[in-house]
Amino acid sequence: MEKALLVSVQLKTDKHHWRIEDISAELEELASSTSVEVLENVICICDHATPNYLIGKGKVEEIGFIAHEEGADVVIFSHDLSGTQQRNLEKALGRRTIDRTQLILDIFSRRARSPEGKMQVELAQLEYLLPRMSGKGVMLSDLGGGIGTRGPGETKLELDRRQARKKIDKLKEDLKGTRQHRQAMCKKRKSNNLPIVALVGYTSAGKSTLLNLLTASTQVTSEKLFTTLDPLSKNLCLPNGQNVIVSDTVGFLHELPHHLIEAFKATLEEVSEADLLIHVLDAADPRLILHNQAVLSVLEELELQDKPVLVALNKIDLIQDRSWLEVSKKEFSNSVCLSAKTGENLDILISKVTDYFSGLMLSLNIVIPHHRMELVDFFYRQAKIEKIDYLQDGINISLVIPRMLFSRIEKDKDIKINPATLAKD
Ligand SMILES: Nc1nc2c(ncn2[C@@H]2O[C@H](COP(=O)(O)OP(=O)(O)OP(=O)(O)O)[C@@H](O)[C@H]2O)c(=O)[nH]1
Ligand SMILES: [Mg+2]
């Protein structure tokens, strides 16, 4: 296992408001989510970035000394480095030096499972690396392998600039194809008229655990960051009989590297189609407010800030002082405190989701002819049937349907809607 020396950097000029303790804690979590052994985490607070080394020369020497003493194979910076800074640091420290983006890309390359996920990660890696390859076209394998030099599925990224550009074009082309396929799938679900609820939130907030609990599925969960890269959608039947699709998504992160935002915009299409977002927050994490801000800004970047949101303040089983929850509940309007692990208050979440969608429901009485029996099946799947009578001149059904289904019913010439039930609504 590679031995890593971490360097957590806070610049007074940084735009975010993360304290150095939070920056260094997150860097450790990220590093532990890949396969390195963390030796030490050096803290570095500077006024501003220097063009050659990011941090001051004296600090670089100190880090070089520690790296040597402890036998580090790689040095990982919490801050993004320019190509020049990275090359200079590597020379000065005498070992491979990578930045936060490379670390995150490394985690993503390990986790990507679906062909699309792999392509997206590889594209993001190449786009990140291209401007950093030297003019002659240094083979990446010259870096000696290890963290940050591997493509998805453990393949080595062995390319010169020209090849990298070609590969980027090819990946973009291939991704277009898979994207069209996914859009078609998404449209199909939409045409089924099933509302979509998307679980969004900071990485490790408990989205997949909540999906598993809600829909009795077996999505992989772990304390490591970015466990889920491939979105998964499952059916959930609400207590009022209505079916909805619940979608798990890739976790967000503060200052999510630009390349990844671009790469995962497509994966997050599911979120853009969603009728309701459940924002899962780890309420037991001291960085709760920072995580919330980070998620809101990613949503904004994806232009999804106007979607209706229900906040799930998760992991309350870990919170001893419950009075604190009242405070955070005030902070987050339309929220539910729950535990996806123990199931506490899951019923409240479900009833909030149900309430949300029942506002969008319509009660109707209709008559359909006997030769359209397939409609009965359809309504059993898509609506809640309250009463059904098989009469001589047709099947009389009282049912509650999602409002968005109404236009489809209205268009069907065979379905007769009892006007009295319409007037009532
Ligand atoms: N104690 C406790 N642990 C929880 C709860 N919900 C989730 N966890 C744990 O938190 C860790 C992360 O959970 P996941 O469901 O994988 O989180 P996620 O949001 O899907 O994370 P990514 O896929 O990495 O974005 C796992 O170790 C879970 O067991 C909870 O309510 N209480
Ligand atoms: Mg997950």
Per residue in 183-235, pLDDT (tens digit) is: 777 676 666 668 889 999 999 999 999 999 999 877 777 777 777 777 788 88
CATH assignment of the domain containing 39: 3.40.50.11060
The verdict on 313 and 372 lying in the same domain is: no
pLDDT at residue 424 in the model? 45
What band does 108 get if pLDDT is binned at 50, 70 and 90? Answer: confident
- What total number of domains does the chain contain? 4
Q: What is the mean pLDDT of residues 110-136?
A: 80
CATH assignment of the domain containing 419: 3.30.70.240
Q: What is the mean pLDDT of residues 365-393?
A: 90
Q: Using CB atoms within 10 Å of the CB of residue 403, give its burial: 0 to 12 exposed, 13 to 18 middle, 19+ buried.
A: middle
DSSP 113: -
**End-to-end CA, the chain:** 66
211 falls within a domain: yes
The verdict on 209 and 339 lying in the same domain is: yes
CATH assignment of the domain containing 352: 3.40.50.300
The verdict on 23 and 94 lying in the same domain is: yes
The verdict on 420 and 387 lying in the same domain is: yes
184 falls within a domain: no
pLDDT at residue 347 in the model? 95
- What is the spatial distance between Cα 175 and Cα 311, in angstroms, rounded to a whole number? 33
- What is the spatial distance between Cα 350 and Cα 355, in angstroms, rounded to a whole number? 9
282 falls within a domain: yes
What is the span of the domain harbouring residue 402? 361-424
- What is the spatial distance between Cα 324 and Cα 337, in angstroms, rounded to a whole number? 11
Q: Tell me the ligand closest to 252's alpha carbon.
A: 1
| Residue 33 near ligand 1, beta carbon < 6 Å | no
| Residue 257 near ligand 1, beta carbon < 6 Å | no
182 falls within a domain: no
What band does 52 get if pLDDT is binned at 50, 70 and 90? Answer: very high
Residue nearest to atom 32 of ligand 1 (CA): 315
How remote is the CA of residue 28 from the centroid of ligand 1, in Å?
Answer: 17
pLDDT, tens digit (0-9, with 9 covering 90-100), for 335-353: 999 999 999 999 999 999 9
Mean pLDDT of the chain: 85
The verdict on 347 and 198 lying in the same domain is: yes
| Residue 207 near ligand 1, beta carbon < 6 Å | yes
The verdict on 216 and 353 lying in the same domain is: yes
- What is the spatial distance between Cα 317 and Cα 380, in angstroms, rounded to a whole number? 37
The verdict on 234 and 375 lying in the same domain is: no
185 falls within a domain: no
Residue nearest to atom 7 of ligand 1 (CA): 206
For a mutational test of ligand 1's pocket, the pick from 30, 208, 252, i.e. the residue with the most ligand atoms closer than 8 A to its C-beta, is 208
The verdict on 216 and 326 lying in the same domain is: yes
- Global pTM value: 0.79
Residue nearest to atom 6 of ligand 1 (CA): 206
What band does 285 get if pLDDT is binned at 50, 70 and 90? Answer: very high
What band does 420 get if pLDDT is binned at 50, 70 and 90? Answer: confident
Selection from 417, 356, 414, 23 nearest residue 195 by Cα = 356
Q: What is the mean pLDDT of residues 276-305?
A: 91
The verdict on 28 and 60 lying in the same domain is: yes
189 falls within a domain: no
pLDDT, tens digit (0-9, with 9 covering 90-100), for 226-256: 777 777 888 899 988 888 989 988 888 888 7
The verdict on 211 and 342 lying in the same domain is: yes
The verdict on 420 and 379 lying in the same domain is: yes
| Portion of the chain with pLDDT greater than 70, in percent | 90
| Residue 228 near ligand 1, beta carbon < 6 Å | yes
pLDDT at residue 142 in the model? 43
pLDDT at residue 217 in the model? 75
